[in-house]
Structure 1
């Protein structure tokens, strides 16, 4: 039934498969809001951004760039979606630093922003290794609160599962969660993924396209593995869901996304489910930074 419903929306192949592959392919620096216009920073943002330090970390023979706003523990680690660099957090990072007094870390995953590209398929375990290396170099190895957007939800889930005791809480911002990637969904979207791959191979090779193609390798098998993961019961997590969802042009896919997010929130203790009204997948951090700040504050209250 799911496959039949989704096939009715084949005209939306490009945006749907792009989200499935990297969960957010944002080429422009300024996100769009739910109405399709450019989103600007909230007027309640700090007028003077907190000073940050840039640190370069080498892991597995490639260089990664981290940015740190100094503060107290617990540290907030912000991880942006696919196609997005640490600039995604340029307004929210200083806002969180000012509101919480916490150390705030942002970074560019391999192939994003200022970090070096890595050849071959994208593997979430490699992304986890990169984050581990960076946080160890920064001395941030306990009381971490992850704030993860889109595909970074996969990194967060694998990171917290692999490193018990390292993460004290998390806020998932319209992020990939295991419950969404059912076998039924992956089977239904397989033709769209293949069409997207063919279209990308016909285009000029760009950094963005190379990253997307890397994510496509073994996409279904990798996400069947992801689907089997469970968020640890002892780590509080809030799942914030954009009202528009990543699938603005496909009501069937949007319903699957909302259902997956709700199942995730209901599947264990210490989990919250928040719908951010009038927000889009990419623009949520500028459209409703207050919701993210409040969610982070709630998590901090449970661990301080």
Structure 2
């Protein structure tokens, strides 16, 4: 491995924490990190800041399991595209892509803030994928969206996508998994490697647990091993087509072994069922929607346009 500059050594340290959460790089390095959720979320149906400029997106606050979750809806025709951000990122991560998707497809485009991010309320305790899946399903149902959904999931949101698809295949017409966490990666050996690599960052985060980035790191780390052993067993339904975009560099580029395992996991997932396609985002970091937006748009629009199986 070539010697790392100070800038890249900093990125390497950030990617050690990234190894545990497999977050978007910006979430860990504070580029585009979310502010704490406000104590008093904006009223339902109000426009988001981005919506004021675009004149289309509306904020809808839904309630699930005792907490409020912010959904941002750009209305369109009967098709729906749901964009789910990586760990530590809120709905604003997709701001540049939403108007382009809406203009190109005419579909309703929905983004949302997971609990503790953006305008959504904090839920204390460890991060539970079941709760995240429940929030997404409850939000879509309360918005009247129960079928013909194309789910687009980046990074840690891949875990939500896999459980959501397994439990609700009839709601989905397809999915685009953008450098996403996928079950084949999380063998017992790889889980142990990721936990060990991330331990210094977890210990450092404990010194300032109220910081939104640290809160996300700590909540995910708390039950990481059992959560990802269970995730390793999740089976994507054959009825739901999926495009798997894998970055060339991966979120684990500082470790050639782990980076190759990331790519291998994407290839294994793509080969494990019908209707799955593997696409490599050449030259891209883990931050594929920022590095290769045209590629991401192309694959989403292709999935939306594909005839129902």
Structures share fold, TM-score greater than 0.5: yes
1:122 matches 2:127: yes
The equivalences for 1:131-280 within 5 A come to: 131-203=136-208, 205-280=210-285
Q: CA deviation at 1:133?
A: 1.1
Q: CA deviation at 1:211?
A: 1.6
State the secondary structure of the residue aligned to 1:257. Answer: helix
**What's 2:292 paired with?**
288
Q: CA deviation at 1:210?
A: 1.1
Q: Given that residues 22 and 215 in structure 1 are in contact (C-alpha distance below 8 angstroms), is that contact kept between their aligned partners in structure 2? A: no
* 1:8-65 CA distance string (max 9 Å, x none): x9x94541332322522512229xxxxxxxxxxxxxxxxx846111111111111111
State the secondary structure of the residue aligned to 2:306. Answer: helix
Q: In the superposition, relative to structure 1, how do residues 53 and 116 fare at CA in structure 2: closer, same or farther (>3 Å)? A: same
d(CA) in 1 for partners of 2:194, 2:74 = 40
d(CA) in 2 for partners of 1:167, 1:188 = 34
1:23 matches 2:17: no
Q: Given that residues 128 and 158 in structure 1 are in contact (C-alpha distance below 8 angstroms), is that contact kept between their aligned partners in structure 2? A: yes
Q: CA deviation at 1:187?
A: 2.2
d(CA) in 2 for partners of 1:148, 1:204 = 26
**What's 1:64 paired with?**
69
State the secondary structure of the residue aligned to 1:75. Answer: strand
* 1:227-259 CA distance string (max 9 Å, x none): 001111110000101111102322121111111
1:94 matches 2:99: yes
Q: CA deviation at 1:285?
A: 1.2
State the secondary structure of the residue aligned to 2:169. Answer: coil
d(CA) in 1 for partners of 2:291, 2:69 = 29
Unaligned runs of 5+ in 2: 1-8, 34-52
Unaligned runs of 5+ in 1: 1-8, 31-47
Q: Given that residues 86 and 113 in structure 1 are in contact (C-alpha distance below 8 angstroms), is that contact kept between their aligned partners in structure 2? A: yes
Select 1:301's aligned residue among 283, 301, 305: 305
**What's 1:36 paired with?**
none
**What's 2:117 paired with?**
112
Higher relative contact order (CA 8 A, sep 6+): 1
State the secondary structure of the residue aligned to 1:303. Answer: coil
The equivalences for 1:32-47 within 5 A come to: none
State the secondary structure of the residue aligned to 2:170. Answer: coil
State the secondary structure of the residue aligned to 1:116. Answer: coil
State the secondary structure of the residue aligned to 1:147. Answer: strand
Q: In the superposition, relative to structure 1, how do residues 189 and 29 fare at CA in structure 2: closer, same or farther (>3 Å)? A: closer
